[in-house]
Amino acid sequence: MSINQLEVQKTTVNRDELLEKAKQIGLIAEKYSSEAEQNSRLSDVVIEKIKEAQFHKLLRPKAYGGQDLDYFTFGEMIRTISNYSVPAAWLSYFFVIHETWPAFLPKESRDLMFNQGGLMADVFAPVGKVTDDGEGYRLSGQWNFCSGVLWSDWIALGAIAKLKDGTEPEYSLFIVHKDDAEIINNWDTLGLRGTGSNGVRLDNVYIAPNRVFKMSRVLAGEGLGEDNYEPDYQIANVPYMQFFLMGFQFIQIGGVERLIQIFQEKTENRIRIFNNSQNEKEAASSQRVLAELKIQLSALKGLANEYVEKLTYYQKNSIVTLDEEDREKLFAIRGYVSKNAAEMALRIMLTLGGNSVFKSDPTEMFVRDIITVATHPTHLYEDSMAAYGKSIFGFKGNPVW
């Protein structure tokens, strides 16, 4: 019996409840932030709090316990966590979106992954080497930046290969159980240290044909299979990649919002010994900086809101592919938010001065985390603006983002 023949319970999220859970995750992550920095991974206490919140199940198909999580609430959840801990927001976001790609798999694999209940990780970079062994596929390679891998059971890894039902090599994610992978302990970075985004290595690991997420086809508008068709499943009714990448801007906004709060508090209590012992809140320079930061923050929130409004419109109208200019404008929004958040963070540190560079001070940690988020390839500013500009003049933009 196919999903559309079943009675699927429709549940609506409680926004206030979700935001309170997000706040609690953030608070406990902040409490253990120093430990996360030292160990290059979030404390297991924080991970258990994330699991307890059950966020990772929210955007599953409803037949597997998913709910109607609107994108505005989703963004606010991630922003709220990031007010306290950027790494915790990063992982919470990833654990939610990583439970959408199993929805596009055949039923056997879908049931196994969803019903097992473990968390999921992925690396989109198509760096793997694939061979067809007749029955299935063999996958080898090393993928870095595998966020969430330390706590996940299933890992989806990118590669370009000719599939059994295809005619040309195509971009796909090949899914393995963590037991079949070697975790490479190479996460030693400027920021986002708590995410524990270590590398993954595979050597000739078998991949069954029903454990391949055919990304190129999904990006081209191919939907769910007959055995998993839910007419109102929101992820099947939006451009998948543009949905998948929506949360990065909320991570940045939440982090820089907290930094602005820190800046204001420190400025109100800062006495400048070499400036005639003046209280810094009386200085025109800091007053101007704070005013500009708050206006910039409002502008970034406005752009993020526009992005979410577009996703909501696409969902309501079942638009799963975009014309080039619309697609690249979303890339440009992500790039603009990312670059400006990073520059705002750096400006805060440069204005506050040397007392904010100590490891015990949250300022330097938030600055490092926000700058590191800005280095992610899905929202690099120069790439995004070049792609958007090309599309405005009728040329092809970025092939994926």
Please give the pLDDT value at position 3.
32
Please give the pLDDT value at position 68.
87
**Is it the case that residue 319 has pLDDT exceeding 50?**
yes
Under DSSP, the state recorded for 12 is B
Interatomic CA distance for residues 130 and 70, integer angstroms: 37
User: Is residue 190 within 8 Å of 373, Cβ to Cβ?
Assistant: no
Distances (CA, A) of 118 to 22, 95, 250, 268: 20, 10, 25, 46
Interatomic CA distance for residues 290 and 104, integer angstroms: 46
Q: How confident is the model at residue 203 (pLDDT cuts 50, 70, 90)?
A: very high
Task: Kindly report whether the global pTM for this prediction surpasses the value 0.85.
Answer: yes
Give pLDDT tens digits for 182-201.
999 999 999 999 999 999 99
Distances (CA, A) of 299 to 158, 181, 251, 296, 339: 35, 43, 15, 5, 13
User: Is residue 30 within 8 Å of 84, Cβ to Cβ?
Assistant: yes
Interatomic CA distance for residues 20 and 234, integer angstroms: 24
Interatomic CA distance for residues 301 and 371, integer angstroms: 18
Most distant CA atoms of the chain, gap in Å: 79
Under DSSP, the state recorded for 8 is P
Is the domain 7-101 a CATH 3.40.710.10 member?
no
Q: Please, which residues bridge with residue 352 across strands?
A: none
The CATH architecture one would assign to domain 240-392 is Up-down Bundle (1.20)
Distances (CA, A) of 353 to 188, 261, 361, 363, 364: 26, 16, 12, 11, 11
Question: Helices in 176-282 by DSSP H: which ranges?
Answer: 215-219, 240-244, 248-268
**Is it the case that residue 75 has pLDDT exceeding 60?**
yes
Gyration radius (Cα) of the chain, Å: 22
Across 208-235, average pLDDT? 88
DSSP 301-331: HHHHHHHHHHHHHHHHTT-----HHHHHHHH
Give pLDDT tens digits for 99-135.
999 999 999 999 999 999 899 999 999 999 999 999 9
Under DSSP, the state recorded for 32 is T
Q: Please, which residues bridge with residue 207 across strands?
A: 137
∠ CA 90-306-338, nearest 5°, is: 40
**Is it the case that residue 4 has pLDDT exceeding 50?**
no
Kind plus residue range of the DSSP H or E element containing 36: helix 33-39
Interatomic CA distance for residues 85 and 24, integer angstroms: 11
Query: What is 120-221's CATH number?
Result: 2.40.110.10
Q: How confident is the model at residue 6 (pLDDT cuts 50, 70, 90)?
A: very low
**Length, in residues, of the chain:** 401
Interatomic CA distance for residues 208 and 202, integer angstroms: 15
Please give the pLDDT value at position 224.
83
Interatomic CA distance for residues 127 and 137, integer angstroms: 15
Give pLDDT tens digits for 237-295.
999 999 999 999 999 999 999 999 999 999 999 888 878 788 889 999 999 999 999 99
Interatomic CA distance for residues 15 and 8, integer angstroms: 21
Classify residue 229 by burial, with Cβ atoms within 10 Å: 0-12, 13-18, 19+: middle
Contact residues for 29 (Cβ-Cβ < 8 A; gap 6+): 36, 42, 43, 46, 49, 81, 84, 85, 87, 88, 194
Q: Where in the chain is the domain with CATH 2.40.110.10?
A: 120-221
Distances (CA, A) of 253 to 46, 171, 222, 302: 21, 31, 32, 11
User: Is residue 191 within 8 Å of 259, Cβ to Cβ?
Assistant: no
Q: Where in the chain is the domain with CATH 1.10.540.10?
A: 7-101
Q: Where in the chain is the domain with CATH 1.20.140.10?
A: 240-392
Interatomic CA distance for residues 269 and 283, integer angstroms: 12
Nearest CA among 78, 122, 367, 26 for reference residue 249: 78
Please give the pLDDT value at position 11.
54
Q: How confident is the model at residue 5 (pLDDT cuts 50, 70, 90)?
A: very low
What HEC string does 338-354 produce? HHHHHHHHHHHHHHHCH
Give residue 202's Cα distance to chain centre: 24
